[in-house]
Structure 1
Amino acid sequence: MHLGALFVASHVLSSGSMRETARRFNISVSTVSAAIDNLETELALKLAERSSGELVILLAGGRVQEGLAPILAATEQLGNLLGHREPEAYGQWAARIPVKLVTMERYLEVADQGSINRAARRLRLGQPQLSLQIANLEKFFGSRLFERQAQGSALTEEGRFAYTVFSTISLAWNELKSAADERYQRTARSLRIGAIIPTGSESWVARCLGSLVAEWNTGRNKNALSLVSMTADDLREALKSGRIDVAILDSVFGLESFRHRELLRTDMVAIAPPDSTEATAPELVASHPICTPSPRTGIGHAAMTFGYDRTLHRRLRDRDITAADSLPVIVDLVANHGYVSFLGRVSAMPIADRVRIVELEEPMAMSYHVAFNHRKAAADACDLLIATAAKIVPAPVAKDAAFA
């Protein structure tokens, strides 16, 4: 990362505006945005969020701004040495400093070793590459930083000043980076589990996750658990991107490259408003609007097949909601707003006091799956989840099975 990019990112964190920063230093907004993105990547930390066209600086951004203060002070010293003392001119210059932080580290190594050759060996770099970087630094300073001697290289007066400034910058940057490394190690140790959004705290998903956490901690596993609920589509993307390690889904569509196992098997039922009187699912579908999750989910796909293939000219078809990916919202639409929907029996039974459960005339099988990545901890968590589900839910969950 360049020192100029750090200066720009720091100004964004203090001003709260990328556009104002771009105008002040006469650089493009894309350059400013790249500076913030690079800093977030280097520190493995989200510093700001863009919301409704405005930039919101997060608490972490304020802490990083404090950590950057010694770097900004050292940069100002550097500007004074090189003749950029007037505030406006200084800002224009500082935002464009091309010197990379890694180049500063290498300069310090050369100074400590007193030899480019010895420093190159320690850094495992080619001597010509390191010599070129030192030459570019001297060009930036406009003066020699080392006096070449028979036994190596000695710092000039300007070189000693550069050493002081670069040491300050390096120390402050390494402190920021060490905090990032600690965060990364905590994240690496954490096992991230995502589940489809449960119908409520009494649902089988919530109970499975609760039991998993209790047994996981009792077993003194070294990996801390991190739990999150998402829509099925978001779970697939999170698993593919590595943001989660394990996903509980009602379908494994699109996850062919991941290992997956069946978690439990059930059948589908219709859920209807408690005051409805229709006796069969086709009658319900004909008399009520339907709400279902996205058709890319197992429930959504099966529900759309049942609701539409058989009843193409329903009276309330224009009121259907076919992308309600939150099960609590679906339950509320059914219980309080006259909709009908479809759920696996295992998810419907715990809410039987809020909705009517209507059997389908033709059985429609459903299964839930757990998909996971290559980590051994992820496989261990899957084993526990499957064992827990077997205790909580009879397998298979048949029409007459009891469910507490």
Structure 2
Amino acid sequence: MHLGALFITGHVLGSGSVRETARRFQLSPSTVSTAIRQLETELAIKLTERSSGTLATLLASDRVQEGLEPITAAIGQLGRLAGRDAAGAYEAWASRIPVKIVAIERFLEVADQGSINRAARRLHLGQPQLSLQLANLEKFLGHRLFERQAQGSLLTEEGRRAYPIFMTISQAWNDLKSSADERYRRTARSLRIGSIIPTGSESWVARCLGALVSEWNARRSNNAISLVAMTADDLREALKSGRIDVAILDSVFGLESFRHHELLQTDMVVIAPPDSTETTVADLVAGHAICMPSPRTGLGHAAMAFSDERASSRRLRSRDITAADSLPVIVDLVANHGYVSFLGRVSATPIAGKVRIVDLDEHLPLSYHVAFNHRKAAADASMMIVEMAAKMTSESAVQAGRVRESAA
């Protein structure tokens, strides 16, 4: 990491503007953005995001900005040492400092050891390589930092002035990095599982994840489980970007490069208002507004195609079909506001007391899947999810059989 990039990022976090920083330091906006990305990578943390074309600093950026303050102050001292403290010229110089943190730490090691040879051995570097790095640092500052003598390398007067400045920079950077390393260790230990949003605590997704957590912790696994519910589209993106390790969703479209298993099969049904009287799907679709998962999901795509076929002449088609990737919202619209929707039977059955379930006039199969990345813990958790889904499917089949027998 270069000192110039740290100086740039500190200003961006303070001003909240890439373009203002670029104008002030006479840099291109892409150079400023690159500095931010470099620091985000080094610290393993997101500092900014764009919203409606405007740069927004995130909550974590306040802590990072505070951690950068000793470094930017030390860069000011470095500018005075290098004779670059003239008004107007300093910021342009500071934002372009090519000195890396690692070069500063190697300077400190030589100063502490009093010998380039001893420092090179401790750093596992060749002596010529270390000497060249020190020479480049001296050239940048415009001062000799060491006097080479037979008994070793001693700091010059300028070297003694530079030492506390570089020590401040090194300590502040190590403080920032130690926080990042701890975040990375916590993330590495955590197994992040994302699922489609369940309809409620009684849904098969919620039951499956509850059983997984209980069994996983009973085995005293080294990996803690972290759960998050998202739309199917967000799950795909999160798995691809590495933000989650396992995804439970209703389609593996776009995830062909990931390992995946089928969890269970079901069929699509219509859920209708409890006081509705229509007896056919065509009448329900023609007479009610529709709310369904978006076409980006497997269920939403199938439901949209099916409703189009069954009611091609319905009025106000474009204005009363709503896509919502939130099953609780869909259920509320059906139960309380006169909408109809489509769900897999396995998701509709637990909410049968809130809505009418109407069978389609033809069998339309749906399937749910678990997709996961290369981590062994992700594969282990996925196989447990498959086993639990199979157990729940078997239990549901037995219960359904008992209901049919009692009805007969």
- Length-normalised TM-score, structure 2: 0.88
- Write the distance in 2 (CA, Å) between the matches of 1:286 and 1:43: 55
Match of 1:268 in 2: 268
Answer yes or no: is the 8 Å Cα contact 2:192–2:227 preserved in 1: yes
Deviation at 1:200, TM superposition (A): 2.5
Match of 1:51 in 2: 51
State the superposition RMSD in angstroms. 2.7
Deviation at 1:92, TM superposition (A): 3.2
Deviation at 1:204, TM superposition (A): 1.9
Deviates more, 1:212-221 or 1:384-393: 384-393
Matched, 1:241 2:241: yes
In the TM superposition, 1:1-400 aligns within 5 A as 1-86=1-86, 88-116=88-116, 118-125=118-125, 127-150=127-150, 152-319=152-319, 321=321, 323-394=323-394, 400=400
State the secondary structure of the residue aligned to 1:378. Answer: helix
Q: How many residues align?
A: 403
State the secondary structure of the residue aligned to 2:262. Answer: strand
Deviation at 1:182, TM superposition (A): 0.8
Instruction: Describe the shift of the 1:311–1:52 C-alpha distance in structure 2 as closer, same or farther (beyond 3 A).
Output: closer
Counterpart amino acid of residue 166 in structure 1: F
Deviation at 1:311, TM superposition (A): 4.1
- Write the distance in 1 (CA, Å) between the matches of 2:323 and 2:267: 21
Answer yes or no: is the 8 Å Cα contact 1:345–1:397 preserved in 2: no
Answer yes or no: is the 8 Å Cα contact 1:287–1:316 preserved in 2: no
- Write the distance in 2 (CA, Å) between the matches of 1:50 and 1:305: 35
Answer yes or no: is the 8 Å Cα contact 2:19–2:29 preserved in 1: yes
State the secondary structure of the residue aligned to 1:229. Answer: strand
State the secondary structure of the residue aligned to 2:291. Answer: coil
Give unmatched runs, 5+ long, in structure 1: none
- Write the distance in 1 (CA, Å) between the matches of 2:266 and 2:158: 76
Give unmatched runs, 5+ long, in structure 2: 404-408
- Write the distance in 2 (CA, Å) between the matches of 1:279 and 1:397: 26
Answer yes or no: is the 8 Å Cα contact 2:285–2:310 preserved in 1: no
Deviation at 1:357, TM superposition (A): 0.7
Counterpart amino acid of residue 146 in structure 1: F
Counterpart amino acid of residue 380 in structure 2: D
Deviation at 1:391, TM superposition (A): 4.6
Q: Which digits, 9 at most, give the CA deviation of each residue in 1:357-389, with x for residues without a partner? A: 101122222221111222222223223323433
Counterpart amino acid of residue 349 in structure 1: T
Deviation at 1:86, TM superposition (A): 4.7
Deviates more, 1:263-272 or 1:300-309: 300-309
Q: Which digits, 9 at most, give the CA deviation of each residue in 1:75-123, with x for residues without a partner? A: 2221222233455443333222221112212222333444545544544
Deviation at 1:169, TM superposition (A): 0.8
- Write the distance in 2 (CA, Å) between the matches of 1:64 and 1:220: 35
Q: Which digits, 9 at most, give the CA deviation of each residue in 1:178-214, with x for residues without a partner? A: 1100110100000000001112233221222223223
Counterpart amino acid of residue 358 in structure 2: V
Answer yes or no: is the 8 Å Cα contact 1:295–1:322 preserved in 2: no
State the secondary structure of the residue aligned to 2:290. Answer: coil
Deviates more, 1:18-27 or 1:74-83: 18-27
Answer yes or no: is the 8 Å Cα contact 2:246–2:371 preserved in 1: yes
Match of 2:406 in 1: none
Counterpart amino acid of residue 251 in structure 1: S
Counterpart amino acid of residue 196 in structure 1: I
Deviates more, 1:263-272 or 1:295-304: 295-304
Answer yes or no: is the 8 Å Cα contact 2:67–2:172 preserved in 1: yes
- Write the distance in 1 (CA, Å) between the matches of 2:86 and 2:201: 62
Answer yes or no: is the 8 Å Cα contact 2:196–2:229 preserved in 1: yes
- Length-normalised TM-score, structure 1: 0.89
